[in-house]
Amino acid sequence: MLEIRDLQVHYNGITALRGVSLDVNQGEVVALIGPNGAGKSTLVNAVSGIVSPSAGTIAFEGKPLHSSRAWTISGMGVLQVPEGRQVFPQLTVTENLQLGATALRGRKAGIPLDEVHALFPILRERAEQLAGSLSGGQQQMLAIGRALMGSPRLLLLDEPSLGLAPVIIAQVFAALRTLKERGMTILLIEQNATLALDLSDRAYILEQGRVVMSGASKALAADADVVSHYLGVTPEG
Amino acid sequence: MLLQQLLNGVVVGGVYALFAVGFNLVFGVQRLLNLAHGAVFMTGAFVAYYTVRAGGPLILGFVAAAVASGVLAMIIEVVCFRRLRKSGDAEFGAIISSMGAGMVIMTFWQWVSQTQVLRFPFDTVPVVIYRFWGLRVSLLQLMMAAAAIAIVLVMAWFIYRTAFGRQVRAVTDSERASMLVGINPNRIYNLTYFISGALAGAAGVLVGLAFNNINFTMGEPYLMFGFAIIILGGLGSIPGALMASLIFGMVQTLSIAYLPSGLTTAFIFSAMFLILLVRPNGLMGREEAGSLRGRR
């Protein structure tokens, strides 16, 4: 479904990605793990059209994405939940969710608001509150809900656990597991490798802009090198 | 007498609001000051004047002025701001480039009008005075108040109640997040600049009618008042700009009525400083750190 080939990204004089190839198939949850600064966020931002690659190709269902604008890519159903949530702070929770449906662009009807509320009941309780007044965990739920309103065909999640308390992380990942069970295709970026390998079917390990290892998540979690390198370090890494 | 002055103040304030709300709308969305806004305002007055001189009815002059000023503002955004916004230092660059655009427009109308003061033909708005409760209101004043109130209400409805207005507010909050939900920010910028310019153009026609004086420097004092109003109302706040405009209108008419006339402008700006002593972020201003959080 998503095919990335030899992707290179340079910006501000830094080489962030040095030839990354990666695939996500329909219905799969693929994790991208690796230390801070490995280029994980750069990769999702390249897929979303926020940064432009200097070489390589990105294709979604055979259509090239690497020269499209960010809003066109969102309109195709490739939807990102950005790092640090990035909800619209001065708008209400409901308005944030309604804006998520902008990405539909007359594709089929989206995931109804009720379903998002069922997944994250707090968003119904706080419907009329300004998004900026929510806690970090609630904002993360709102950011995911906002992307769901656009009926994602590929959901890109950038560090959904970042800065959240363990109990909140558990709630967020329980919701992600529900989405997985419903067949949602997900590319998950995580520093917390334990969480990421637990949820995903396959994983890629990125270091200094290169894929250094990839394979089935279960196999990676059992690999001694991976365990000592990535699972041994603290989640905040 | 006091009531009469307050009424006059509301009319003047309404016209300021048309000017300042658009100025502040653009500032809120892009964090850039459009220093050509005074020239856009003046363009409205000139377009209406030439439409009426060519035999068109005043209402046509109004519509032509709003459309021409709106399109002009859109052009200013594309020419002066769009490329600059990709650089790191857009705030300063935008001040200079929009000042330059203002000069180009002013020089154009100076050339067209041959540096003459233009006046609408007599009776463009019939001189009719209504009296009630001891107050005098002219037809022109009523028109000004009605136009200002109607336009501001429509604006408020548009920004806070429509899907498109929601997108405008989303881009104001975070350009990047709005692209991720599928909004094309350039479309929103075109639209907000058009609205901003159309409001300024309408204000220009009303001021041209009220003072029966249209000339190529008429935008300058309004640009100054526009600055003061958005600082007083709170940077980027539409309700704040509205409130500040009414306060300025009233302070102005009251000081003309009761104080030495040469001191009016000094008095208006002193009032601004006094209010800022108590509310440094303006009447409806948010903490700057808060409003910038989440951008880019």
Q: For the segment A139-186, what is each residue's pLDDT rounded down to a tens digit?
A: 999 999 999 999 999 999 999 999 999 999 999 999 999 999 999 999
CA A107 to chain centre: 21
Element (H, E) at B84: none
Task: Specify the residue for token string 């009719």.
Answer: B128
A-B Cβ pairs (cutoff 8 Å, strict) = 77
pLDDT in tens, A45-67: 999 999 999 999 999 999 999 88
**How many domains does chain B contain in total?**
1
Instruction: Give how far B268 is from chain A: nearest CA, Å.
Output: 31
pLDDT at B296: 37
Phi, psi of B147 (to 5 degrees): -65, -45
| B44, B64, B85 from B56: Cα distances, Å | 15, 10, 40
Contacts of B174 in chain A (CB under 8 A): 86, 88
Q: Work out the pLDDT band at A189, boundaries 50, 70, 90.
A: very high
Task: Specify the residue for token string 């030899």.
Answer: A6
Q: What is the DSSP letter of A92?
A: B
Which tokens belong to A190? 């995580």
User: Do A99 and B178 make contact, defined as CB atoms within 8 angstroms?
Assistant: yes
Q: By the CB < 8 Å criterion, does B177 face chain A?
A: yes
Residue ranges of chain B with pLDDT lower than 70?
286-296
Lowest model confidence (mean pLDDT) among A106-110, A198-202, B86-90? A106-110
Instruction: Give how far A74 is from chain B: nearest CA, Å.
Output: 5
- Name the residue of chain A whose CA is nearest to B177's CA: A86
Return d(Cα A158, Cα A189) in angstroms, integer.
Answer: 5
Instruction: Give how far B125 is from chain A: nearest CA, Å.
Output: 43
Element (H, E) at B135: strand B135-138
Could you say which of A71, A82, A89 has the minimum Cβ distance to residue B182?
A71
ipTM: 0.90
pLDDT at A237: 41
Average pLDDT score over residue span A111-124? 91
Instruction: Give how far A94 is from chain B: nearest CA, Å.
Output: 11
CA A80 to chain centre: 6
How many Cβ atoms from other residues are within 10 Å of residue A116's Cβ? 23
Sign of CA dihedral A85, A87, A90, A95: negative
pLDDT at B105: 96
Q: By the CB < 8 Å criterion, does B252 face chain A?
A: no
Phi, psi of B33 (to 5 degrees): -90, 125
Task: Specify the residue for token string 């069970």.
Answer: A181
Contacts of B173 in chain A (CB under 8 A): 88-91
Which tokens belong to A228? 């000592």
Beta bridge partners of A60: A2, A63
Which tokens belong to B280? 């440094």
Of B47 and A226, the one with more pLDDT = B47
pLDDT above 90 coverage of chain A, percent: 77
Domain boundaries A2-226, CATH class: alpha beta
Could you say which of B167, B184, B185 has the minimum Cβ distance to residue A99?
B167
User: If you compute the radius of gyration of chain A from its CA atoms, what whole number of angstroms results?
Assistant: 17
pLDDT in tens, B140-151: 888 888 888 888
**For residue B43, what are the domain limits?**
2-292
Q: By the CB < 8 Å criterion, does B292 face chain A?
A: no
Contacts of A77 in chain B (CB under 8 A): none
Of B70 and A193, the one with more pLDDT = B70
Q: Work out the pLDDT band at A110, boundaries 50, 70, 90.
A: low
Of A95 and A109, the one with more pLDDT = A95
Sign of CA dihedral B200, B201, B207, B213: positive
Q: What is the DSSP letter of B115?
A: T
Return d(Cα A42, Cα B70) in angstroms, integer.
Answer: 38
Return d(Cα B239, Cα B224) in angstroms, integer.
Answer: 19
Non-local (6+) Cβ contacts of B11 within 8 A are B141, B144, B145, B148, B249
**pLDDT at position A198 over 60:** yes
Could you say which of B172, B183, B290 has the minimum Cβ distance to residue A102?
B183
Return d(Cα A213, Cα B264) in angstroms, integer.
Answer: 74
Return d(Cα A19, Cα A23) in angstroms, integer.
Answer: 14
Asked if B236 and B27 touch (Cβ cutoff 8 Å), the reply is yes
Nearest CA to A71 among A53, A54, A49? A49
| B22, B36, B124, B245, B285 from B227: Cα distances, Å | 12, 12, 31, 11, 14
pLDDT at B31: 85
Average pLDDT value over all residues in chain A: 91
Give the CATH number for residue B213: 1.10.3470
- The amino acid that residue A57 corresponds to is T
| B26, B35, B103, B227 from B100: Cα distances, Å | 18, 9, 5, 18
